Amino acid sequence: MSPPLLLLQDITLTLGGAPLLNGAGFGVSAGERICLVGRNGSGKSTLLRIAAGELASDGGTRFLQPGTTVRYLPQEPDLSGFATTLEYVRSGIPPDGPDYRAALLLGELGLTGEENPATLSGGEARRCALAWALAPEPDLLLLDEPTNHLDMPTIEWLERELLSLSSAMIIISHDRRLLETLSRSVVWLDRGVTRRLDQGFGRFESWREEVLEQEERDAHKLDRQIAREEDWMRYGVTARRKRNVRRVGELAALRQARREAVRAPVGIRMQASEDGLSGKLVAVAEGIHKAYGSRTVIDGLDLRVLRGDRLGIVGANGAGKSTLLRLLTGLDQPDSGEIRVGTALSVVTLDQQRRTLNPATTLADTLTGGGGDMVQVGSEKRHVIGYMKDFLFRPEQARTPVSALSGGERGRLMLACALARPSNLLVLDEPTNDLDLETLDLLQEMLDAYAGTVLLVSHDRDFLDRVATSVLLAEGAGRWVEYAGGYSDMLAQRGGMAPAGRDRRPEAGAPPAAQKRSEKGPARKLSYKDQHALDRLPGQIATLEEKIGQLRTILSDGGLYARDPAAFTATTEKLDHAEAELTAAEERWLELEMLRESLGSS
C-alpha cells in the first residue's frame, strides 16, 4: 500500500477532567476518501483539528508526509485581514497554482469576490472558506460539515466538484447522501477510540450494529465471569483462611473491564409534546403573490396543507422558503391572493438561526425559563437534569452558558426547548444542521409518530426522503410546484432533473448531448451508439454489483491482512476500481435514460 499522507496514532486529549480522545487515530493515503462519523460531542471536530495541526494533543503522534498540501475547512472560519473575498481565496493558492479557480469557485458558491469579509454572514463566510479550501486542489482536504448553509443545487454541485478532485479527503457531515456518494472508508469515533471500516458509508450503520451487538455479548460473558469470581470470594475454601491476592486483583480487573464495556452510548429520548387536534385544514393558499421590490418570490401559488401532512419546502437560497413559512403560519400576509390559516393551531417553530437562544444564559435556565429546576414538558413537570439527559447533556453542563456549546449541542438544545411545548403544527427550518446521524434518525422517528402537521425546510435529501409526504419546490421566478412523496420521488417526477440553482445555466455535470439539444433544438431519437450503451449498461451494472459483493466478502475476513498483506492490498484496489466503475456506469445509464425520456416527450 502507498505510504500515508497523514497518520495519527494513539491520540489522547482530556478536556474538563474527562478524556475526550483515548488512543484515537487513523491514516489517509493519496486519493482516499474517508468520512469521520460519531455522535455530537464525541470529539470529531477536535480530532480533525489535531489532524490539521490546529490543535496539539496531550499524547500520541501526528505524521504529515513532507511536501503535502493540506486545506482545512473549520465550522467557524476566520477571514480577518483581507480586503475582499477574492483576495482571501487567492491567498490559499500557491504562486504556481490555478489562480482562475478563485473567482470560478466563488461564483459557484454565490459570491462575487468583491464582498468585504468583515460584513459576511456566517453562511457566506463558510462558503468563502469552502472556496479557499477547494481552490488549490490540495493533496489532502479536511472538511468539517461542508454542506452547512448550502442550498440543494450547491450541495449537488459540491458533490460533483469533490468527485472530480484527486485529493485525499476526510469529511465530517450529517448529510447521508453526500457520504454515500463520496466515501470509500469510514472512521467511527466512539467513546474516545476509533474503528475503521474500509467500505463506503452505505455499509456503516449495519456494521456499527454488529460491533455493538458483539460488545453486548462480550459484556454478558464478563458478567458471568464476575459472578463466578464473586462466588469464589464468598464461599471458596481458600477464602475462609486467607484471601488469594491474585484472584482478588483479577476480580477488580474484571469489574473495571465491565465498567468500560457498559459505557455504551446512551440513547437520546425524543418525543414531541402534542396538543389537541387542529382543524382538518391547516392552511389554504389561493393565488397568493409576494414580492420584495421588483423581485417576485411567490407568484400565483395554490396550496392546501391538511392535518397530518409533512410538507417539505425546497429551493435555492433566497428563493423565499422562510417567507413561505411565515405566510402559511399567518405571521405575514401576501401582496395579493388569500391565505386561510386553520383553527385550533398550536404552532412550535424551530429556527435555523437559533435566534431564540441567549448566548449568556445557562443551559438549565434556557430550558426552565430561569424559573427553578423544573421544566414544563407538555402537561407534566420534569427535573431539568433528567430532561437534559434525554438529550445527551451531562449534569455538569447545567450551568454551562449557551455560548460554550458546540453547534450540535445547540441544535439539541433547540430541539429540547421546542419539543417541550405542546403543539399540533411543527415548523422546522433546517432542523438537521449540526445534528449527528443518530439524532437525525431519532428526530425522523419522532416525526413519524407525531400526530400533528409538519412544515419542513431542509436541504438534506435523505431526511426529506424519510420524512416528507410531499415536496413543494421553488422552480424559479416565483413559481412553486408541489410533488407527491420525498426528494427522490420529486426527482423522478421531474425526469431526473435536480432543482434549479441561481441561474438556468446547464449544470457542469450535464451530458454534452443534453447541452447540445438545448442549443439546437430536440433530437428525434437516440443515436445508435447511445442506444447500444443503454441496452448494455444494466447487465454491466449487475455484473459489477456481483463482483463488488464477492470482493467485500473476501475483505470481511478479519485475519486476511495479517496472513497475506499483499492479497489484502490487491483486493482493496480491485474493490476501489470496481466501485468507481459502478458509479460511472450508473451515472451514464441515468444520463442516457433521462435523454431517452426527454426525446420521447418531445
pLDDT per residue over 369-415, tens digit each? 876 888 888 778 889 888 888 887 888 888 888 888 877 778 788 88
- Residue with the bigger pLDDT between 530 and 115: it is 115
Helices (H), 236-344: 237-241, 245-261, 321-328
* pLDDT the model gives residue 518: 37
* pLDDT the model gives residue 222: 67
- Residue with the bigger pLDDT between 60 and 497: it is 60
Measured between alpha carbons, how far is 578 from 574 in angstroms, rounded to an integer? 6
Segment 344-374, tens digit of pLDDT:
888 888 766 566 788 888 988 888 887 688 8
Give the closest residue to 89 by CA, choosing from 142, 145, 127. 127
Residue 193, pLDDT above cutoff 90: yes
How buried is residue 541: exposed, middle or buried, by Cβ count under 10 Å (0-12/13-18/19+)? middle
Give the closest residue to 26 by CA, choosing from 169, 134, 165, 144. 169
* pLDDT the model gives residue 524: 45
Residue type present at position 582: L
- Residue with the bigger pLDDT between 533 and 150: it is 150
Q: Which of 58-72, 331-345, 423-437, 497-511 has the lowest mean pLDDT?
A: 497-511
Quick check: helix, strand or coil at residue 33? strand
* Mean pLDDT over the full length of the chain: 82
Measured between alpha carbons, how far is 218 from 214 in angstroms, rounded to an integer? 6
Give the closest residue to 446 by CA, choosing from 350, 325, 357. 350
Residue 232 makes CB contacts below 8 A (sequence gap 6+) with 239, 247
Segment 127-138, tens digit of pLDDT:
999 999 999 999
Residue 301, pLDDT above cutoff 60: yes
Half-sphere exposure of 244 (CA within 13 A, CB side): 14
Q: Locate 103 and state its grid cell.
A: 473567482
Per-residue pLDDT averaged across 588-596, rounded?
Answer: 73
Segment 443-462, tens digit of pLDDT:
888 888 888 999 999 888 99
Name, of 237-241, 337-341, 444-448, the range with top average pLDDT.
337-341
* pLDDT the model gives residue 587: 72
Q: Locate 47 and state its grid cell.
A: 480530532
Q: Which of 205-209, 557-561, 594-598 has the lowest mean pLDDT?
A: 594-598
Residue 100 makes CB contacts below 8 A (sequence gap 6+) with none
Q: Locate 244 and state its grid cell.
A: 488469594
Residue 428, pLDDT above cutoff 70: yes
* pLDDT the model gives residue 3: 81
Q: Locate 582 and state its grid cell.
A: 459502478
Quick check: helix, strand or coil at residue 594? helix
Segment 503-550, tens digit of pLDDT:
433 333 333 333 333 333 434 466 666 777 788 888 888 888 888 888
Strand 380-383 vs strand 470-476: parallel, antiparallel, or unpaired? Answer: unpaired
Residue 239 pLDDT class (50, 70, 90 cuts): very low
Segment 247-287, tens digit of pLDDT:
555 555 655 554 554 444 445 566 676 666 778 889 999 99
- Residue with the bigger pLDDT between 496 and 150: it is 150
This prediction's pTM: 0.68
- pLDDT > 90: what percent of the chain? 34
Backbone dihedral region of 495: left (phi > 0), alpha (psi from -120 to 50 degrees) or beta?
Answer: left
Residue 197 pLDDT class (50, 70, 90 cuts): very high
Half-sphere exposure of 378 (CA within 13 A, CB side): 11
- Residue with the bigger pLDDT between 202 and 72: it is 72
Residue 231 pLDDT class (50, 70, 90 cuts): low
Residue 601, pLDDT above cutoff 70: no
Residue 495, pLDDT above cutoff 50: yes
Sheet with 193-197: list strands edge to edge.
70-73, 140-144, 168-172, 33-37, 185-190, 193-197
* pLDDT the model gives residue 514: 35
